[in-house]
Amino acid sequence: MGLIYLALYKGKGQLFNAAIRAWTGSEFSHCELVMPDGRWLSASAMDGGVRAKRIDYKPEHWHLIPVPWANARLIESVFDRHEGKGYDWAGIFLSQMLASGLHSERRMFCSEFCAVALGFTGIGQRFSPVLLGETVHRINRLPFVQLAHSLNEGHPDAQHA
């Protein structure tokens, strides 16, 4: 079984991407979960909401972070429950720009979808792409996550743990 990745968009994009980058002070303006079968899952403003698609990966446009602790069944379950929901324009404004945490139960934005699919239930709307990326990176650096990943991969150092 292949790895799941959090993909952070750093391409130029559209005016909306520039606004997200300016607001968060980050080079990232969007995020996706890349599944082992090649599907990219997210809520996309350009695509109208929660969807799966195949994206032609260009390293100059994306930063990929492996998520060895991601639960593929949970991600698929969250996707199945939310597929086709619209993009949460009000939620991105209220929860990100006003930091109120208010969001729609019937719509989602990218980092909210990815956070909930990674198990951050109840707080998914609090994440921006950059905050989610930093959180995943920190979780990946936790010793027990590194050990578990080593054991799963049959890493030679796992024998000495």
Distance CA 54, CA 94 (A): 30
The pLDDT score that the predictor gives to residue 156 is 47
- pLDDT tens for 82-141 read 999 998 877 777 666 555 555 556 778 999 999 999 999 887 778 899 999 999 999 999
Return the minimum-mean-pLDDT range out of 20-24, 38-42, 91-95, 113-117: 91-95
The pLDDT score that the predictor gives to residue 161 is 34
Q: What is the DSSP letter of 123?
A: T
Q: Can you give the pTM of this predicted structure?
A: 0.86
In this structure, are residues 101 and 126 in contact, taking their beta carbons and an 8 Å threshold? yes
Exposure on the CB side of residue 136, measured as CA atoms within 13 A: 30
Cα torsion angle, 2, 4, 10, 14, sign:
positive
The pLDDT score that the predictor gives to residue 160 is 37
In this structure, are residues 119 and 74 in contact, taking their beta carbons and an 8 Å threshold? yes
